[in-house]
Amino acid sequence: MSSPQSAPTHWAQILRHVGPGLILTASIVGSGELIVTPKLAGETGFKLLWLIVLGCVIKVFVQIELGRYAVATGKTTLEALDSIPGPRLVVSWLLWLWLGMYVAIVFQVAGIVGGIAEVFASAGVGLDKKFIAIAVGASCAILLAIGRYRLVENASTAMVVAFTIATIIAVGSLQWSPYAISGAQIAEGFTFSLPDNFMTAFGAFGIIGVGASELIYYPYWCLEKGYAVNVGTNDGSQAWTERAKGWMRVMRTDAWVSMVIYTTATVAFYLLGAAVLYAKGLKVSDKGMIDTLAHMYRESFGQWSFYAFLIGAFFVLFSTAFVATASNARLLVDGLALFKVIKLNTPADRVKAIKLWVCLLPAISVGMFMVWEKPVTLVFVGAVGQGIMLPFLAGAALYFRYRRTPPELQPGAAWTVGVWVAALSMAAAGIYQVVSSVIEKLK
C-alpha cells in the first residue's frame, strides 16, 4: 500500500495533480449541455440564463463537501450515504432513493447511446440505428474491460475541449448574423423569471454542470486518484492535518477549474439555443434531434459546419457514455455489496465485479434504446431523476459538515454559507417542481 505523501504546495505542482474533476468534465460537457440545455433554451429563450449559471456554480460547494469527507475518511459516497441517520431496510433510506436515481441514469445513458446513433444517421450512414447502438455499446464495454480507459479519456477530453471552444466561437460568430445576441437579451436572462411549465427547467437544473450522478461519482475518482491514500489514516497528528489540508487544496482547485470549463460550455450552448432555436421556433425533440441541434452551428458558421458539429457531438456523447459506464459500474458494485447482494472479500473481487458490469451495463442501455427509440425522452428521465436527488445530497453534505468532518478540517463561515445557499437552492427547485406539477394537474 502506498505511503501518505505531502501535498503539493506551489500552483504548478497543484495543477499537475488535479484530475477527478477534469475526468468528469469529459462527461459533464455531455448530454446535459448538448441536448437538455438547448432544449430548455429553445422553449424559453434567454430568460432562464440565470438558472443555468446558478445550476452550474452552486453544486461545486456540495461536490467539495462530499469530496472532503471522502478524502478525510477514505469512504466511498455510498458508504457515506449509508451512514446517514433514519429508517433502514438492509441499507439507509437514502440509498433506496439513490437506487431510484440510478435506474433513471440507466435510461439517460440509453438516450445518449441513441443520440450517438442519431449522429451517424444524420451523417448519412446507411445502417439501422439499432445496429449502430449495438456497436457503440460493444465498443464501450470492450475498451473498459481491456483497460483502455486512459487512452479514451485523453482523446475524448481533447475533442470535448475542442468542441467546447468551437461552440464558444460559434456564439461570437452569431454577432455577424441575423441572430446576433443583444445586451437587452442578456439582461433578460438575469431577470430571475420562471416559465409556466418548469419541467424542462427542472430537468436541466438537475443535469447541467455537476449533476447528482457526478456528485456521487466525484469522491470515487478522488479515492482512485489517490487523494485519500496520500492523506493516510487519521492518527490525530498535526502531520495528518497538514496533509489533509494540502490535498483538499488540490481537490478544490480541481473542482473550480472544472467548474469554469463546464459553466462556460453550458452557457455557450444555452446562448446558441436561445438565439437560434428559440428565434426559429425549433424544439429539440426525439424526432430529428441532431438535425435540430445542428442549426446552432449552421447559423454561426454556415452549411459547411454541419459535419463538424456531428464530429463534435459524437465525441461529447461517446465520452459521456464511456465515463458514465465506468462510473456506474463502480457505483453498482459498491451498492450491491451494501445491499448484501454480493460479497467483496478482496480488492480482486471488486475489480472482477467492475469488469463484469462494464460489459453488462452497456448491453442494458442498448436494450432500452432498442425498445424505446426516444433519445431526448430517455435523457430527460435521467435528468429529472438527478434533479430529485440533488436536495438530499446537499442535505447529506451539510450533515457531514456539522457532524462528521474533523474540527480542524471544517470550512470557514463564508464557505458554509455557500453550502447552505446550494442546499436551499436545490430544495427550492425540487419543491417548486412538485408544487407546479400539482397545480398543473388540478387545472
pLDDT tens-digit series, residues 254-300: 788 888 888 888 999 999 999 999 999 999 999 889 999 999 989 88
* Cβ–Cβ < 8 Å for 200, 285: no
Q: Which residues contact 189 (CB under 8 A, 6 or more apart)?
A: 46, 47, 48, 49, 50, 274
Residue 151 resides in a domain = yes
Output the pLDDT for position 6.
56
Output the pLDDT for position 28.
54
Query: Binning pLDDT at 50, 70 and 90, where does residue 29 land?
Result: low
CA distance 319 to 348: 27
Residue 1 resides in a domain = no
CA distance 203 to 380: 6
Q: Which domain holds residue 219?
A: 11-442
Residue 198 resides in a domain = yes
Mean pLDDT over each residue of the chain, to the nearest integer: 85
Residue 354 resides in a domain = yes
Residue 3 resides in a domain = no
Backbone angles phi and psi of 88, in degrees to 5 = -130, 140
Take residue 376 and report the three cell numbers written for it. 431526448
pLDDT tens-digit series, residues 73-122: 888 889 999 999 999 999 999 999 999 999 999 999 999 999 999 999 99
Output the pLDDT for position 214.
83
Residue 274 resides in a domain = yes
Backbone angles phi and psi of 92, in degrees to 5 = -65, 150
pTM score:
0.87
Instruction: Find the CATH number of the domain harbouring 346.
Output: 1.20.1740.10
Residue 4 resides in a domain = no
Residue 395 resides in a domain = yes
Q: What is the DSSP letter of 353?
A: H
Tally of structural domains, the chain: 1
